[in-house]
């Protein structure tokens, strides 16, 4: 399937309720709004095993519509809001939608890949350093990151698998420290 780069209305990101991505995509489609819901695909480990596709971006659906008329979108059951900047729906770069749709159609496997910026606060959710927070020192594009973790007012550097990391919620960490 080929996808044109920039035809029709602009693409926007729609935030939806938890686990409502398919419902919202169907409802928007019924309202003649073009929708794109990329799904994760994993190659089955066992030959006859069926895999359940999950949204690649949980809680989000891409929709093509005129940003000046958002009522048909926000009135849709399951929609939380449209991602905006200064109350104007943010437009997704058409080349990004094109690339995502093309890869989604052609790839045997489609999995999310975390992106972390240098200096970003992260929390380790798996492995021997589980629940430890740190700061990304560098990301060399490999499958591993180097993270600085402060222990006893000293820093140590540990190379950890990027799949173990998630972005840290600074306000939760500060609230927990204030409580102690």
Residue at which a domain ends, from 79, 106, 133 = 106
What size, in residues, is the chain?
180
pLDDT in tens, 53-84: 889 889 999 999 999 999 999 999 999 999 99
The percentage of residues in the chain with a pLDDT greater than 90, rounded to a whole number, is: 40
Residue 140 domain-assigned (yes or no): yes
Strand partners, 158: 147
Return the pLDDT at 180: 37
> Within this chain, do residues 100 and 140 fall inside the same structural domain, yes or no?
no
Residue 155 domain-assigned (yes or no): yes
Q: For the chain, how many structural domains are there in total?
A: 2
Return the pLDDT at 112: 74
Host domain of residue 47: 11-106
Residue 2 domain-assigned (yes or no): no
Say whether pLDDT at 88 is over 50.
yes
In eight-state DSSP terms, residue 168 is: -
pLDDT in tens, 113-127: 777 778 788 888 887
76 by Cβ neighbours in 10 Å (0-12 / 13-18 / 19+) ranks as buried
**pTM score:** 0.65
Return the pLDDT at 172: 44
């Amino acid at each position: 399937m080929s996808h044109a780069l920039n035809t029709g209305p602009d693409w926007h990101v729609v935030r939806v309720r938890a686990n409502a991505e398919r419902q919202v995509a169907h409802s928007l489609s019924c309202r003649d709004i073009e929708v794109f819901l990329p799904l994760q695909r994993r190659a089955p480990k066992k030959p006859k095993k069926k895999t359940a596709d999950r949204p690649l971006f949980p809680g989000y659906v891409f929709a093509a519509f005129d940003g000046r008329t958002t009522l048909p979108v926000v009135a849709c059951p399951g929609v939380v809001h449209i991602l905006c900047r200064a109350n104007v729906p943010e437009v997704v770069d058409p080349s990004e939608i094109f690339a995502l749709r093309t890869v989604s159609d052609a790839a045997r496997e489609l999995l999310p890949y975390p992106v972390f910026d240098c200096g970003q606060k992260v929390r380790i959710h798996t492995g021997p350093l589980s629940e430890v927070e740190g700061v990304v020192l560098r990301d060399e594009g490999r499958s591993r990151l180097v993270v600085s973790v402060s222990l006893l007012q000293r820093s140590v550097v540990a190379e950890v698998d990027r799949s173990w990391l998630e972005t840290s919620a600074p306000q939760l960490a500060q609230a927990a420290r204030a409580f102690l």
